C-alpha cells in the first residue's frame, strides 16, 4: 500500500524539508561514509524541536556522487541509517529521506538524465513527499544552503530559507510553531 493511500484521512501537519550536505552536516564534498559525516551545530536539536512540535521532517538531497560513480546508492542508504541512529540518540527522527542520484553528466549511464525531475532545482523530491504524506503546505518550509534548494522549494510552493552556516537550531528557533 502506498504512503499516500495509508495517509488518507490523517490530519495534515506542516513539514520541515532539509537539504542534507551543508545544512545537517558539514559539506567537504561527496559525504557518503559515516566516518566522514559531521553534524552541523544544532542540527540534531533542530530536528528534535520540530518533531516535538508535531511537524514532519524530511531530507531532500542531491546525491550526484552516485551517478558520478564515486559511491553506490547502498552507501547513501547506509549513511541515512546511521544518521537516523544518531538522531534517535538525541530524541529526534527524520520521517523520510529522499535523494536523487541522477545527474546530466553522470558517468554511470543508469543515472544520466538531461534534466532529472528529482534533482534540485527541480522540485521532484519535495513533490513526492507532498504526495506521500499529509502535509500542510502553506505552513511548511524548506531549508537549504544553495540557490538550487531555494528554487526547488519555490517550484513546489514551499517557503524557502537560506541557511548560511552557524547553529541550525538557533537559525530555525523562530520558525517552530505547534502543528
| Main-chain dihedrals φ then ψ at residue 52, nearest 5 degrees | -65, -30
| Residue tagged active-site, from 19, 118, 145, 149 | 19
* 138/14 Cα distance (integer angstroms): 8
In the three-class reduction of DSSP (H, G, I as helix; E, B as strand; rest coil), residue 177 is classed as coil
* 112/65 Cα distance (integer angstroms): 12
* 21 has catalytic annotation: yes
Tell me the helix, strand and coil percentages in the chain, rounded to 5.
Answer: 40, 15, 45
| Residue tagged active-site, from 21, 118, 145, 149 | 21
* 19 has catalytic annotation: yes
Cite the active site residues: 19, 21
Amino acid at each position: 500500500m502506498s504512503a499516500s493511500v495509508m495517509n488518507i484521512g490523517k490530519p495534515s501537519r506542516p513539514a520541515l524539508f532539509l537539504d542534507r550536505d551543508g545544512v545537517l552536516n558539514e559539506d567537504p564534498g561527496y559525504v557518503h561514509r559515516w566516518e566522514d559525516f559531521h553534524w552541523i551545530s544544532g542540527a540534531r536539536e533542530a530536528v528534535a524541536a520540530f518533531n516535538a512540535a508535531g511537524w514532519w521532517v524530511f531530507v531532500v538531497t542531491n546525491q550526484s556522487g552516485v551517478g558520478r560513480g564515486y559511491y553506490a546508492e547502498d552507501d547513501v542508504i547506509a549513511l541515512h541509517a546511521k544518521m537516523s541512529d544518531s538522531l534517535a540518540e538525541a530524541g529526534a527522527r527524520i520521517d523520510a529521506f529522499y535523494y536523487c542520484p541522477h545527474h546530466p553528466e553522470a558517468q554511470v549511464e543508469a543515472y544520466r538524465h538531461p534534466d532529472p525531475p528529482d534533482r534540485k532545482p527541480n522540485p521532484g523530491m519535495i513533490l513526492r513527499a507532498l504526495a506521500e504524506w499529509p502535509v500542510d503546505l502553506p505552513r511548511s518550509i524548506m531549508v537549504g544552503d544553495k540557490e538550487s534548494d531555494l528554487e526547488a522549494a519555490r517550484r513546489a510552493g514551499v517557503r524557502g530559507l537560506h541557511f548560511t552556516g552557524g547553529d541550525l537550531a538557533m537559525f530555525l528557533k523562530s520558525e517552530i510553531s505547534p502543528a
